[in-house]
Amino acid sequence: DAGVTQSPTHLIKTRGQQVTLRCSPKSGHDTVSWYQQALGQGPQFIFQYYEEEERQRGNFPDRFSGHQFPNYSSELNVNALLLGDSALYLCASSLFGTGGAPPQHFGDGTRLSIL
Amino acid sequence: DQQVKQNSPSLSVQEGRISILNCDYTNSMFDYFLWYKKYPAEGPTFLISISSIKDKNEDGRFTVFLNKSAKHLSLHIVPSQPGDSAVYFCAASPNNNAGNMLTFGGGTRLMVKP
């Protein structure tokens, strides 16, 4: 039973560039959420995708956008990269509408470094 | 404006003793609380949760206590083991829908000494 998988594991970009991160949800899950974890802080919610639409969004600028595909996998795109975008980007999957445990399952993240 | 706070960035405990990790929240809309554990180079893994209708939930060595009036929750690990050394995050949600966005605290690094 494959868990949440993210690619790539590490990425180095320069300021102003654009980046795409990918996530495949746990088998049986249909909802994907993205979080940004800066060094020494807790994860911060970016947005969530269900039925190929953005359902919820955190306090992140429009430079952060996403997409969900019919197979439930998802991409996170960040444009015009800033130094402050350096972080661990976590993808979490869940089954929409289910209550209680098990909650969201997280992947191991993509470490993005901006030079 | 941090809605979920973990005021102790680190905690060191002797093996076999109790570890107590604390978490405070400010948003009264939060109704469901979770603890996640994170090892280096891995994603957070779910540990235990509690709904606001309860004040205690146990799972083996792990117990979470919720004081809704004080907007405070704590995670007790008894007995602590070296393998418990990790960063622990508390998280809050408006309800127990698995798809809800989670608001995380900043984490507490637990070190259990053999």
Could you report the per-residue pLDDT of A41-94, keeping only the tens digit for each? 999 999 999 999 999 899 999 999 999 999 999 999 999 999 999 999 999 999
Of A7-11, A19-23, A94-98, give the lowest mean pLDDT range: A94-98
Write out residues 55-94 of A within 8 Å (CB-CB) of B.
55-56, 58, 90, 92, 94
User: Given a cut of 60, is residue A101 above it in pLDDT?
Assistant: no
What are the CA-CA distances from residue A69 to residues A2, A15, A51, B9, B86 (Å)? 18, 28, 8, 38, 34
Beta bridge partners of A107: none
If you count residue pairs, one on A and one on B, with CB atoms under 8 Å apart, how many are there? 81
Q: Residue B57: how many CA atoms within 13 Å on its side-chain side?
A: 20
Kindly state the percentage of chain A with pLDDT values over 90.
Answer: 87
Q: Which of A41, A45, A55 is facing B102, going by the closest CB pair?
A: A45
More confident residue, B62 or A103: B62
Q: Which of B41, B46, B101 is facing A108, going by the closest CB pair?
A: B41
Q: Which residues of B touch A109 (CB under 8 A)?
A: 43
Q: Which residues of B touch A50 (CB under 8 A)?
A: 99
DSSP β-ladder status, B108-113 and B10-14: parallel
- The residue assigned the tokens 């990269």 is A81
Q: In the structure, what pLDDT confidence band is assigned to residue B100 with cuts at 50, 70 and 90? A: confident
Q: Which of B34, B43, B105 is facing A103, going by the closest CB pair?
A: B34
Q: What is the average per-residue pLDDT within B3-13?
A: 96
Those residues whose C-beta lies under 8 Å from the C-beta of residue B94, and which sit 6 or more positions away, are: B29, B30, B31, B32, B100
Token pair listed for B26: 């400010």
Per-residue pLDDT at A96: 82
Peptide bond into A102 cis (omega under 30): yes
Per-residue pLDDT at A95: 87
